[in-house]
Each structure stands twice: as structure tokens, then as C-alpha cells.
Chain A
Amino acid sequence: MITLVDYDAGNTYNLQKAFAYLGVETNLTDDQDELLASEAIVLPGVGAFQSAMTVLKAKKLDTTLQKAATAGIPLLGICLGMQLLFDTSSEYGITEGLHLIPGNIIELPAKKGFKIPQMGWNQNNLLQPDSEFSLLEDEYTYFVHSYYAKCDPKYVVSEVEYSVNVPAVVQNKNVFGMQFHPEKSGHIGLEILKTFKERVVVK
């Protein structure tokens, strides 16, 4: 079963609804054993990096997620959940993340015509045509964020343009991250969640 990490993260209910709509059973838990025994883990998240890491650490879920990733369990971080996968974030001072994908989370540059947060539908530019998520090519997905991942392009599956190139989907082996909200990206968003279940989790 797919397990959603329960840590008061915000978009959990809508993600559960999207999986339910697809007929995919999910389990919302903060139990370490349940997480390590699951078929795949989804780390949701809306809000601030620092407070999210504080909650994960308090529940000892940081080490659980690191163990799960090392054990090869597919792990998908969404929005803030994606950002948490990286090394650090500069939101409200430097905070360490989960170190599952090399790179850092920094603020979107302030530039005329590019309001912060980026809020709305942006078009994906696919960088890795062989990815499981190649269906994203040229598709619009829904973003709400003020910080973005700065990392080696080898981890970037697709990106969008917003004054800078913003990684939209990142991957490091069995660890995946999506800056956009698949659960709010209409038909293509549901297809992406379905792809995660059918092509990533089954492997």
C-alpha cells in the first residue's frame, strides 16, 4: 500500500482524495514500522520548511524516511515535501533537509513581472525523455511556491520557466519530488499519480 506521511502537512486530504478517485488505497500514518513496510511513501507538505523539518524530527521521521530511501522504497515528495528531500533550505535561516537529493532550496528571485509566490499553471519542459514521467512534456501543472530547488540538472526530470528555470520534477534513483501539486493539476495530475503507482511502485 502507498503510505502518506502524517505530520500535519496541509495538502494530505486532497492527495488522499486524488488517490481514492484513482482507486488507489492509501494509509495516512506517522508510524515508523508502517512506513518502512510500505510499498511506497508519499511526503506531502504545504507551509514553511523549518517548521516541517521540526515536526519530522520530533516524530523521528527524518531518519525513517532516510532508511526507507536507502532500502529502495519509492518515495515521492510533493511541493514542500519535495523541497524537504534536498540538503538545505534558506527559508528563515539555513535549515537542514533530508539529504536525499543533492541541492539547496532558495528563494525565487524578485523580478518585475514575476510575482512571488508563483501561483498558477505553468508549462513543463521535459529534460529527461526516458523518465517514467515523460507524459508531462509540454503539459501545464499547478504551482504554489516561493522557494525552488537549485541542483545539478542531472536530477531534474522536468522544469518550468519563471524568471529562472524551476525544477518541476526531480529524481535521484528511487526518490522523486514534484514542486507542483498533482492533486490540483486536473487530468494530467491524476495521470501522474497513476503513473507513480503503476510504473514506479510496481518495479
Chain B
Amino acid sequence: MLAKRIIPCLDIDDNRVKKGVNFVNLSDVGDPAVIAAEYERQGADELVFLDITATNQKRSTMIDVVENVSRQVFMPLTVGGGIRDVQDMQKLLKAGADKISLNSAAVANPQLIQAGAQKFGNQCIVVAIDVKKDQKTGQKMVYTHGGKQSTELDAIEWAKTAVTLGAGELLITSMDKDGTKSGFDLELYQEMAAAVDVPIIASGGAGKITDFIDVFKKAPVDGALAASVFHFGELTIPQVKGKLAAAGVNVR
């Protein structure tokens, strides 16, 4: 049986992991390759690297990061942030990325999804969607630019469009839950999973082990992504996987 995936996410700024990672045994807590290797040792199923570099001059360093990590870490790597065209995708894939994650650029230019999927295959193209509930209408809306910019797009409709255009996977972040450590947005993932038939990665809200159990038990998601709970050592991947297995969730 296919295992449910646990996916740590690393924010990269100018070649370094942005949020300090709190593993006592690491020599360099800012080195993406060192941290990636530690997560591989812990049993992470996949890693997501998000380029949050603010300036364009420093952008190309992401290729070096991917190149360097993929020489030492042998698991699936997804790379996102600032990817504008098929050439950007090709460079990152050649450097060792397995999947490309598109967010704001796909909203601005949906044909980018199609172009990427046609050239590299649907399995290569992840569309990341940041979702926030409109307090008045209750509608789930798409935000871009790291959640700073609102759009007119309904999240469920955008997810369907992205899949039709060739997205092979969706990485759905609940902005309402992100950073709260109060659990994943189960209703959002139930609704998403009913609307599309590609794998869904849940992101935002992980705080306790039971949050992971809940999201896998109550919504048909394929993976759960988390950053700070793993980075700061509040939870380890073996702890989470141990409890998931005990709860009857198939993990590696």
C-alpha cells in the first residue's frame, strides 16, 4: 500500500535555511544540505524547498542549493518560489529537483501549468494554493505573493482549473490555520479532495501529533507538510510516524 507522506518544508533565503532549525546535533543549522540530510535520516518522505529570496540577483542560488542537496540526499525534492517560466523549471529539474511548485506565477499565468506539464509531465508540476476564508461570505479564496495579495479566485474552482491544466499534485495551505498550531483545516481538505482526483498535500496548522492523525483519518489527503514543529524539534518525524502507524495510518 502507498504510504502517507510526511513532508518538512524549508524556506531558503540567499542559499541559507531562513528559520533557524533547532537540531542540537547539527554542525550548521543554516545549511540546506545538512538539514536535508538530517530529515532524510529521520525518515522524511519528501522535502519541499521554498525560495523566499527577495531580490532577483540572488535568485540563481536556488539552483546551487538544489544541485548541492541532490548530491547528498536521495529522496524526492520539490522546489518552489519565484519560478516564472519553463526555462526556470528545466534548470531546477536538471539541478536535481523532482517536482516544481507553482503558486503566484500560475495564478498570473495559468498557461504556465500546461506548458510545464506538457514538457515535463503532470507528475512534475505541483500547484501550491494559499487559501483564506472570507469572513463575511465564508467563501474560500486564493491569496498570492506569500499570502499578502488577495485575488478574486475561489480556491476550489482554482484547484479544479489547475488540475485540468495539468497539475499532478496540489499543495494546499490554509492561511487561517498556518502558524496557529491548532490542527489542519479538515473541512478545506475534505472539500478539495472531493473536487479533484490528484494527490493533495495538507499544509498549515500542524502542532500536535493528533493533528497529523486527524488529517489523514478524516480527509483523504496524501501527505502532510509542516515546518516549525519539525524545525524546532517540538515533534520528530519518527514520533509522528510511530503514532500514525499505531492509529492505523500506513506510513513508511
Contacts and interface: CB of A to CB of B under 8 A. Distances in A.
B40 A21 contact: no
A189 B121 contact: no
B23 interface: no
Determine chain A's interface SS by DSSP, over half rule.
mixed
B94 interface: yes
B251 to A, nearest CB: 9
A135 B198 CA distance: 32
A144 interface: yes
Interface residues of B, number: 27
Contacts of B1: 122-123, 161-162
B82 interface: no
Chain A interface bracket (under 10, 10 to 19, 20 to 34, 35 or more)? 20 to 34
Interface in B1-15: 1-3, 5
Nearest to A193: B74
B5 A121 contact: yes
Q: Interface centre among B5, B74, B198, B252, by most A CB within 10 Å?
A: B74
B74 A123 contact: no
B215 to A, nearest CB: 16
Contact of A123 (B3, B40, B169): B3
A123 to B, nearest CB: 7
Contacts of B61: none
A190 B74 contact: yes
B187 to A, nearest CB: 20
Given A14-B96, A184-B98, A186-B40, A21 B3 contact: no
A187 to B, nearest CB: 8
Interface string B101-128: 0000000000000000000011100000
6 contacts: A46-B121, A115-B222, A117-B123, A122-B2, A122-B3, A187-B74
Interface of B: 1-3, 5, 40, 45, 70-72, 74-76, 94, 96, 98, 121-123, 168-169, 197-199, 220, 222-223, 252
Interface of A: 13-14, 17-18, 20-21, 46-47, 113, 115, 117-123, 140, 142-144, 161-162, 183-187, 189-190
